[in-house]
Amino acid sequence: MAQDTHATSNTTSSTEYSISQLSKEFEVTTRTIRHYEDMGLLNPARRGQTRVYSPADRTRLRLILRGKRLGLSLEDSRDIIEMYEPGKTNVDQLKKLIDAIQLQRIKLNQQLDDISKLIKDLNRAEADCIEALKTSGKSTENNNL
């Protein structure tokens, strides 16, 4: 990590991140990160008007992007992330939360099932390909358009 040729002087400690740092680390645009804030998924501190991201903010971003890879909407991700927060210590809220967690788990299990099936399909497809390659090595009679 000795890249300081023209670096933006690391005034800040290692427990904060600028928007461009996160942008590079997670390979998303700054616009995207700001968009997540607009949608209420992030809420970084400010130094003047500049956004200052904490490790917790960074974690949230990681979770958002994980959710994205899983095909969740930003709203879904926001809901899930809020499950981790110990803010609302109300009995009713907690019970609702547990229900929501159950629901998410069901969806995830469905997804696991989908993926394992897809992987099996891919394995079969690959096997077919390899078989076809062998065959085409021995004869060229398989060139039916």
Partner DNA sequence: TCTAACGTTTACGTCAACGTAATCTTGTGA
Partner DNA sequence: TCACAAGATTACGTTGACGTAAACGTTAGA
Name the residues that contact a second copy, by CB under 8 A.
63, 66-72, 80, 83-84, 86, 89-91, 94-95, 97-98, 101, 104-105, 108, 110-112, 114-115, 117-119, 121-122, 124-126, 128-130, 132-133, 136, 142-144
> Toward a second copy, which CB reaches closer, 38 or 128?
128
SS3 118: helix
Listed in sequence order, the residues at least 6 apart from 135 whose beta carbon sits closer than 8 Å to its beta carbon are: 142
Q: How many CA atoms lie within 13 A of 8 on its CB side?
A: 7
Q: Tell me how many degrees the CA angle 89-91-97 measures, rounded to the nearest 5.
A: 80
Residues 24-53 that bind DNA (CB under 7 A): 29-32, 34-35, 39, 48-51
Which tokens hold the place of 30?
């700054």
119 binds, among DNA, a second copy, none (CB under 5 to 8 A by kind): a second copy
> Toward a second copy, which CB reaches closer, 4 or 141?
141
